[in-house]
Amino acid sequence: MSRDFIATDEPAQGLQRLVARFGGHAYDPHRHETYAVGHTLSGAQAFRYRGSERVSVQDECMVIHPDEVHDGHAGAPEGFSYRMLYIEPWLMCRALGRDSLLPFVPGVVERDAELAALIDDAFADFPVPMETLQADALIADVAMHLARRSDDAGPQRTAPLPVDEVAAARSFLAEEFDRQVTSGDLERVTGLDRFELSRAFRCLLCTSPHRYLVGRRLAHARSRMTAGEGLAEAAAASGFADQSHMTRHFRARFGITPGRFAALASASQP
């Protein structure tokens, strides 16, 4: 039987690609601050999501929304393999226009040939970095496709959101992830009251400023672990108080411990 592995590229322009294979248990319950849009390549991928057990079999696609808890395990004896795109909600907003709501897709698992083709095309040269224009076009295509499949029954905005101010806060958090950031820092950067900013941040990015900051720390730590750096060193370089602090957040975000991720990433190397 094929060995378990995870292979990812570096996040770029708010997009990250992952390909993985598991023969049994894959992930504990966790959630991402991004959209997770995937294509099952073989076997059956089972996961609990929004109170129900879901199964994606070969050639089916999955759409998991930001900040939604889910897990992952094999739904068939042969295990499963899949490709996944992680796309920041902020980019979905930009792709669909300032006045558009983020798409909510009620069909979590579907046989969607168009979406599968978009995902597979993104992996044509993996893990070679995607060109900026290619990544922009892919995000736009995925955003428009999900918008066509979305349920628009949610409440509509009655007043414009502070898009530019949220963008400034997001950029500041992405740049300053390795130090302690306070609400006062964000108030100075944006000119917004901390609670007004928190509400707008969640509406536009489906997460809180703090969770976004932790996400940037985890992405940096995961990149360093993929490169072979030790767990304690990766934690210290990424703004965590210590390795146990990183481990707690890593498991909550990715559903596996840092040690297991490092082993799986090593297994993907030739």
Which residues 6+ apart lie within 8 Å of 153 measured at CB?
A: none
The CATH code for residues 157-270 is 1.10.10.60
Position 21 scores a pLDDT of 97
Least confident of 147-156, 183-192, 224-233: 147-156
What average pLDDT does range 69-80 have in this prediction? 96
pTM of the shown model: 0.73
pLDDT digits (tens, 9 = 90+) for 230-244: 999 999 999 998 999
pLDDT higher than threshold 90 for residue 125: no
- Residue 231: CB atoms within 10 A of its CB come to 20
Do 138 and 88 form a contact (C-beta atoms < 8 A)?
no
Position 62 scores a pLDDT of 97
Position 12 scores a pLDDT of 81
Q: Where are the domains of the chain?
A: 5-149, 157-270
d(CA 100, CA 129): 29
What average pLDDT does range 20-34 have in this prediction? 95
Position 175 scores a pLDDT of 94
**Looking at per-residue confidence, does 101 or 185 come out higher?**
185
Least confident of 165-169, 243-247, 265-269: 265-269
Specify the CATH architecture of the domain 5-149.
Answer: Sandwich (2.60)
Which residues 6+ apart lie within 8 Å of 113 measured at CB?
A: none
- Residue 29: CB atoms within 10 A of its CB come to 14
Which residues 6+ apart lie within 8 Å of 16 measured at CB?
A: 8, 9, 10, 34, 85, 86, 219
Least confident of 34-38, 132-136, 222-226: 132-136
User: What are the structure tokens assigned to 150, written together?
Assistant: 């979305």
Residue % of the chain over a pLDDT of 90: 62
φ and ψ at 77, to 5 degrees?
-60, -30
Element (H, E) at 117: helix 113-122
Q: DSSP per residue over 135-173, as a string?
A: HHHHHHHHHHHHHHH----SPPPSS---HHHHHHHHHHH
- Residue 24: CB atoms within 10 A of its CB come to 10
**Looking at per-residue confidence, does 154 or 268 come out higher?**
268
* Average pLDDT for the chain: 89
What average pLDDT does range 44-54 have in this prediction? 96
User: What are the structure tokens assigned to 100, written together?
Assistant: 């558009």
Position 208 scores a pLDDT of 83
